[in-house]
């Protein structure tokens, strides 16, 4: 089992999906925690969204894509690119939801938009944002 798991995690796409799923769980836990501390739903979601975005950036960069470069001349443009991508993804998700609803349930419309953004995010991370001179992962 360990050998199969290790072989699976050697693949960048597998690490990308594991990181994404982990960050999603982290965001849900942040919402629950913030609401236990009496945060409003909007504050709880906002806090979880931005903490999740930061955690996702760090884990995708270092774990999923093995990009260990930390100089500010690399890190700041990467962070800006990811934030712009997040904003674009948000706009895309709203447009997809508007176009598909009401005949398609909102949860399905969101899932369709998420599936599409996951695909192009992976491509952009791999080919533009976290691309290093050597394409071999650290693992």
Residue 134 pLDDT: 59
CB 114 within 8 A of CB 101: no
Whether residue 125 has pLDDT greater than 80? yes
> Is residue 1 situated within a structural domain?
no
Averaged pLDDT, 90-101: 92
> Is residue 121 situated within a structural domain?
yes
CA-based nearest residue to 53, from 34, 14, 77, 26: 26
> Is residue 24 situated within a structural domain?
yes
> Is residue 2 situated within a structural domain?
no
Range of the structural domain that residue 101 is part of: 9-129
> Is residue 120 situated within a structural domain?
yes
CB 84 within 8 A of CB 74: no
Q: What pTM was estimated for this model as a whole?
A: 0.82
44 CB-near residues (< 8 Å, 6+ apart): 30, 31, 34, 35
| Number of Cβ atoms within 10 Å of the Cβ of 109 | 20
Least confident residue range of 71-85, 96-110, 125-139 = 125-139
Residue 29 pLDDT: 95
> Is residue 134 situated within a structural domain?
no
Q: Into how many domains does the chain fold?
A: 1
Least confident residue range of 15-19, 86-90, 103-107 = 103-107
- Cα separation, 26 vs 14, in Å, equals 18
> Is residue 34 situated within a structural domain?
yes
């Amino acid at each position: 089992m360990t050998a199969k798991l290790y072989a699976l995690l050697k693949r960048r796409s597998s690490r990308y999906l594991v990181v994404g799923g982990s960050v999603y769980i982290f965001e849900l836990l942040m919402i629950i925690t913030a609401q236990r501390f009496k945060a409003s739903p909007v504050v709880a979601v906002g806090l979880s969204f931005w903490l999740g975005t930061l955690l996702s950036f760090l884990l995708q960069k270092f774990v999923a894509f093995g990009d260990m470069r930390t100089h500010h001349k690399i890190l700041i443009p990467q962070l800006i690119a990811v934030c712009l991508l997040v904003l674009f993804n948000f706009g895309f998700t709203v447009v997809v939801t508007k176009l598909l609803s009401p005949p398609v349930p909102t949860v399905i419309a969101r899932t369709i938009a998420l599936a599409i953004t996951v695909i192009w995010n992976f491509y952009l991370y791999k080919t533009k944002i976290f691309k290093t001179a050597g394409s071999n992962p650290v693992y």
